């Protein structure tokens, strides 16, 4: 049986090296990107009943549409990378949570508040915020 696995690995060296390289890039990219995004969330973001308006919501309609598409594309990318990081090295759950915060869909704010209210998730995010000298997120229980 062990010989079978060694033969399989030997036959698939190139894709395995690519997968390993991509995994390393995603891991180091998440170490850089996630703390930056977490630090940008206002500390009172989850105290509101509804999602607070964004800084760019009053921009020109065309610019607002472009920003909205870019924000949602970034959210989809983060969710996909987070799903990959569940089995590859990286901060998968945090990446998925951040991707969800970028996406726009009905009921999103309730889902965000529910996810962030889990003590391990809130503790991890507030730890990242402390490292960036940002106030901790405050969540209504």
Residue 91, in any domain of the structure:
yes
CA 86 to chain centre: 12
Asked whether the whole model's pTM tops 0.75, one would answer: no
Residue 23, in any domain of the structure:
yes
pLDDT digits (tens, 9 = 90+) for 9-36: 888 888 878 877 877 787 787 778 888 8
Q: Which two tokens stand for residue 121?
A: 């998730």
Backbone angles phi and psi of 121, in degrees to 5: -70, -50
Residue 110 has pLDDT above 80, yes or no: yes
Residue 140, in any domain of the structure:
no
Mean pLDDT of 63-89: 85
Residue 84, in any domain of the structure:
yes
**Which residues, 6+ apart, have CB-to-CB distance to 104 below 8 Å?**
68, 71, 72
Residue 136, in any domain of the structure:
no
Q: What 8-state DSSP symbol labels residue 55?
A: T
Q: How far apart are CA 93 and CA 122, in angstroms?
A: 12
Domain count, the chain: 1
Residue 137, in any domain of the structure:
no
Residue 138, in any domain of the structure:
no
Range of the domain at 10: 2-131
């Amino acid at each position: 049986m062990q010989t079978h696995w060694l033969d399989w690995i030997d036959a698939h060296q190139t894709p395995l090296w690519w997968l390993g390289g991509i995994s390393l890039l995603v891991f180091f990219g998440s170490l850089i990107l996630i703390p930056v995004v977490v630090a940008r969330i206002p500390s009172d973001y989850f105290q509101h009943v509804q999602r607070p308006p964004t800084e760019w919501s009053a921009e020109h309609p065309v610019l607002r549409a472009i920003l909205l598409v870019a924000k949602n594309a970034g959210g989809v990318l983060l969710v996909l990378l987070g799903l990959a990081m569940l089995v590859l090295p990286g901060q998968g759950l945090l990446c998925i949570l951040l991707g969800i915060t970028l996406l726009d869909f009905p009921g999103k704010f309730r889902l965000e508040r529910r996810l962030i209210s889990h003590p391990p998730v809130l503790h991890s995010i507030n730890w990242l915020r402390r490292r960036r000298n940002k106030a901790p997120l405050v969540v209504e229980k």
